[in-house]
Amino acid sequence: MITPYRYGPVDIWPGQRPSLCGLLKWMASDTFHWLGDGYRHAPPPGEETFTDLHIRHLRQAMGHRLKAIQFTKRQESFNGADWELWIHNRSHGIGLRIQAKKQSRKGQYGFWYWLHERSALQCDLLVHDALITQCVPVYLLYNHRGPWTVAQGLAQGLCGHTASDQSHYGCTLLSAFHVQAALFRLVIDNDLYGHYRNISHQRLRQMSAPWNQVLCDVQEPKEVRDSRGVATLKEIQRRSAALEQSGLEALGRVDPEGFSTPSQVQRDHSDLGDAPELRTRLDETPARGDAQTALRPLPQRVLRLLEADDPCPPEPDVPTSAVVLYDVTDAEERLVNERGRLYHS
């Protein structure tokens, strides 16, 4: 039986609450080593195992700052995402619609995944469901091997909290629009022109960024107290928007040949069932400037989850296995002491 590489968060921070950045960095390192050990010595853990363990660690370490709502599991094949993460101050926030993908022994990911129950590619469903739920669609990559580089445009805006052995790359976030662009090129070349094309997994990994560096909640101390966590939220939203914009720009460089999604190309050239109507961002312009940092009000469904009793939460409008809600209010005051430990770990 495989066990996690390191102790749990209550052993790492006894009697303390870590920052979200610190906890995510620790979980990424644990994932990096656990997955690598699994490939070397035993069958590696599955994506669902990592997801369940991460949600457990978040709930265990963050106390009342975090609310994790897990729903009765639907058919996994119906879902375009594994879970949702909302970072908020109880009135505003940003949500990520997350699909986990484990790196294979050879460094590849299962981006090409057709869901027969919905007659569409998982990536297109992830984007579709994220637009309905007002989330940013992302892949959470579970990694164990490099090379480790982040595209320059993304790296410039990330926080500086890293692991000396680069194990913070164990969990990285990738815009689903980057994957959608790669799938568009693949199906158009293969199905329309008969030119065989592979997905460049290494290139897509380079367009991802460590999740702790994107979602970092550690702020420099300020003269004016920001008890509502507005500055923290704006920074997280800015980095998340940059990640999303990078993917949208990649999608904008693809000639879709009149198709709305890669799934539509595939269905039109194969006997894969009726086509569902999927929302897309092909016709939209990436947000820039103030649009990236203006705080977004929480959707009503998220507000209902915040107020709901844990034993009887309202069912999600779009199926998902869990919704995790992290409250950043008073983040600056709580994390002043955390800064020193993060920079020296």
Span 159-179, pLDDT tens digits: 999 999 999 999 999 999 999
* Cis-peptide into 311, omega within 30 deg: no
Q: What is the mean pLDDT of residues 297-312?
A: 87
Is 188 a member of any domain? Answer: yes
202: alpha, beta or left? (left if phi > 0; alpha if psi -120 to 50): alpha
- Per-residue pLDDT band for 20 (boundaries 50, 70, 90) equals very high
Domain that holds residue 77: 9-344
- Quote the CA–CA distance of 239 and 154 in Å, as a whole number: 8
Looking at the domain assignment, is residue 1 inside a domain?
no
Q: Is residue 331 part of a domain?
A: yes
Among 1-10, 62-71, 174-183, which is the least confidently predicted range? 1-10
Give tens-digit pLDDT for 321-341: 899 999 998 654 454 444 444
pLDDT of residue 195: 64
- pTM of the shown model: 0.87
- Residues whose CB is less than 8 angstroms from the CB of residue 287 and which lie 6 or more positions away in sequence, other chains included: 241, 245
Q: Tell me if 194 sits within 8 A of 275, measured CB to CB.
A: no
68 has pLDDT over 70:
yes
The total of structural domains in the chain comes to 1
Asked if residue 222 belongs to a domain, the reply is yes
| Cα–Cα distance measured from residue 79 to residue 93, given in angstroms and rounded to the nearest whole number | 23
* pLDDT given for residue 99 in this prediction: 95
Burial profile 81-98: b = 16 or more Cβ within 10 angstroms, e = fewer: bbbbbbbbbbebbbbbbb
Is residue 2, in this structure, part of any structural domain at all? Answer: no
Residues 141 and 298: beta-carbon distance below 8 Å: no
Of 135, 99, 216, nearest to 168 (Cα)?
216
The C-alpha atoms of residue 284 and residue 281 are separated, in whole angstroms, by 5
Residue 294 is assigned to a structural domain of this protein: yes
Determine, yes or no, domain membership for 4: no
Residue 259 lies in a domain: yes
Does the pLDDT value for residue 289 go beyond 70?
no
The tokens 């009887």 sit on which residue? 312
What does the block give as tokens for 19? 């920052």
In DSSP terms, 9 is beta-bridged to none
